[in-house]
Amino acid sequence: MNMDQVLRDLIPSLKSSAKSCHEALAKSTPEFINPENGLSINDNLMQLGSAVKDAREAIWHLKHITSHLLIQRNASPGFLINKLPNEVLAMVFCEASRIGPITMFAIAHTCSRWRHLAFRTPYMWTTVDLRCFKPRNTAYSFTQRVGVLHPKLAHMILTLSKDSPMSVYYPDTREMNKQGFLIRTLDVVMPSILNRLVEMIITVGAQYATRIPCVLETTPAPVLRKLSLKILDNPCHIFKRLFAGETPQLKTLRLSSCRLPWNDEAYPASLEELIVDEGFDLWSEEFPYQSEDEFEGVPVLAHLNDPRYALDRTVASALQKLQRLRTLKLDSCSNLACGISNRDPVQPASLSKLRSLKLRNGFADSVAVLTSLSIGKISTLLIRSDAKTRGEDNTVPTLS
């Protein structure tokens, strides 16, 4: 691919889009009909929207060739990317920083112009990807086995991002850093950005899971929209709450090897997607907890009078206020039948917007969930009973 030719094709597109935007704005007047071109404000706004769309498409193409641009920039100082205006370069930098975990640092060390522009673009530093490269021989390279971002680099990102919204990623499942960088980096990152955290996708081991409640349970996250949390080597953890119960904008919540209590205070009303995979499957060979009685064969956690279930009330109460919920998935979850019985049935939660329901639990527990819901239109319904999520009697609630 000829990068110079690609850029030569894109620059006129960007200039044309910018010109169209200026023209559309200039032609828009408070009057219903613009006397200059005879078009209504709505028509002029449509022109503006079309111009913005063209500009976005051009930037989208730039994003996909960013890696080539960065490589060839060093190889050829006269490369055409240097002819892009600062505003366009800043857009490229912002997109590039989301592609690779260390790209933002590469940009900042390319040349003085790029460095000054990068340091003046806070939005470029809004992604903290805790994955980082590892040295191989004497050269640094991206590999499948990644390390963890050093705490000092994490602090640098937080400083340069100023007050911009932040996203944190560490989705790796098994690559734990032996030097403790992950724990130290999280200790730097988490407390300082929760007030501007918009997205977090993170996997942590039991070593840090014991310290998570200090941060995730007690500190509000007022602008958080998406949270995906997985805990390794310590499944079936139950948080008392998340972010002090103050996440008014949270739309997506995905919990793996952990869950929140089944009560009306644990889940925010703003949720549109709720996925919980607690990992509580007594049939699974990976279930780590031993039985208290070798002959009984039932782990302590399977007894419903275990203290870990003290905050559970009913699944219906947990879901009742989630009126925006569109996707619900409960996989290998414990104590789903809490608070219900054939003698004293609970009032089902009415979820009129729910369109996808997936259950994978013990048969009795899945029936208990269905009993707790009142659903209108639904497009996807999947029920599997190949997990054992109850250690005591399997009395099936009445399904009506």
- The tens digit of pLDDT for each residue in 7-35 reads 566 666 666 666 666 666 566 554 444 55
User: What is the predicted pLDDT for the residue at 295?
Assistant: 43
Range of the domain at 62: 52-83
User: What is the predicted pLDDT for the residue at 175?
Assistant: 52
> What DSSP letter does each residue of 154-213 carry, written as one string?
HHHHHHHHTT--EEEEE--SS---TTSHHHHHHHHHHHHHGGGEEEEEEEE-HHHHTTHI
State how beta strands 147-148 and 131-132 pair. antiparallel
How far apart (Å, rounded) are the C-alpha atoms in residues 349 and 269?
13
Domain co-membership, 78 together with 214: no
How far apart (Å, rounded) are the C-alpha atoms in residues 375 and 27?
49
Residue identified by tokens 């890696």 is 67
User: What is the predicted pLDDT for the residue at 144?
Assistant: 43
Contacts for 59 with CB less than 8 Å, ≥ 6 apart: 14, 88, 91, 92, 95
In a domain, 368, yes or no: yes
User: What is the predicted pLDDT for the residue at 284?
Assistant: 77
What are the phi and psi torsion angles at 334 (to 5°)? -90, 155
Domain co-membership, 233 together with 347: yes
What 3-state DSSP class applies to 247?
coil
Residue type, 390: R
Torsion angle of C-alpha atoms 355, 357, 358, 360, degrees rounded to 10? 180
Report which of 258, 253, 232, 384 is spatially closest to residue 319, judged by C-alpha positions: 253
Q: Is the pLDDT of residue 309 over 70?
A: yes
In a domain, 162, yes or no: yes
Q: Is the pLDDT of residue 178 over 50?
A: no
Domain co-membership, 334 together with 210: yes
Average pLDDT over residues 183-207: 83
Torsion angle of C-alpha atoms 54, 60, 65, 67, degrees rounded to 10? 140
In a domain, 107, yes or no: yes
Domain co-membership, 98 together with 192: no
Q: Considering only residues 373 and 130, tell me which one the structure prediction assigns the higher pLDDT.
A: 373
Number of structural domains (the chain) is 3
Burial 80-89 (b: 16+ CB within 10 A, else e): bbeebeeebb
CB contact at 8 A, 372 and 349:
yes
The phi-psi region of residue 109 (left if phi > 0; otherwise alpha if psi is between -120 and 50; otherwise beta) is alpha
In a domain, 218, yes or no: yes
Domain co-membership, 193 together with 327: yes
CB contact at 8 A, 115 and 160:
no
Q: Considering only residues 83 and 381, tell me which one the structure prediction assigns the higher pLDDT.
A: 381
Model pTM score: 0.75
User: What is the predicted pLDDT for the residue at 350?
Assistant: 92
State how beta strands 252-256 and 273-277 pair. parallel
User: What is the predicted pLDDT for the residue at 346?
Assistant: 74
Q: Is the pLDDT of residue 197 over 90?
A: yes
User: What is the predicted pLDDT for the residue at 347?
Assistant: 84
pLDDT > 70: percent of the chain: 62
Domain co-membership, 60 together with 199: no
User: What is the predicted pLDDT for the residue at 291?
Assistant: 54
Tell me how many degrees the CA angle 335-340-345 measures, rounded to the nearest 5. 160
Torsion angle of C-alpha atoms 111, 113, 119, 125, degrees rounded to 10? -70
Domain co-membership, 325 together with 270: yes
How far apart (Å, rounded) are the C-alpha atoms in residues 394 and 360?
16
Highest mean pLDDT among 102-116, 317-331, 374-388: 317-331
pLDDT band at 87 (very low <50, low <70, confident <90, very high): confident
In a domain, 21, yes or no: no
In a domain, 6, yes or no: no
What are the phi and psi torsion angles at 34 (to 5°)? -85, 120
Q: Where are the alpha helices (DSSP H) in 76-169?
A: 86-96, 103-108, 112-119, 151-161
In a domain, 144, yes or no: no
Domain co-membership, 94 together with 225: no
How far apart (Å, rounded) are the C-alpha atoms in residues 126 and 130?
13
Q: Is the pLDDT of residue 70 over 60?
A: no
How far apart (Å, rounded) are the C-alpha atoms in residues 136 and 100?
18
Domain co-membership, 224 together with 336: yes
pLDDT band at 137 (very low <50, low <70, confident <90, very high): very low
pLDDT in tens, 336-380: 988 876 566 678 899 999 999 999 999 889 998 998 999 888 899
Average per-residue pLDDT in the chain? 76
In a domain, 36, yes or no: no
pLDDT band at 1 (very low <50, low <70, confident <90, very high): very low
Domain co-membership, 111 together with 132: no
pLDDT band at 6 (very low <50, low <70, confident <90, very high): low
Residue identified by tokens 């090897």 is 257
Domain co-membership, 225 together with 115: no
User: What is the predicted pLDDT for the residue at 219?
Assistant: 86
Rounded alpha-carbon distances, angstroms, from residue 88 to 76, 96, 147, 240, 316: 20, 12, 32, 46, 51
Q: Is the pLDDT of residue 254 over 70?
A: yes
Contacts for 344 with CB less than 8 Å, ≥ 6 apart: none
Domain co-membership, 172 together with 100: no
How far apart (Å, rounded) are the C-alpha atoms in residues 348 and 350?
6
User: What is the predicted pLDDT for the residue at 120?
Assistant: 92
Rounded alpha-carbon distances, angstroms, from residue 171 to 128, 290, 342, 353: 12, 29, 42, 30
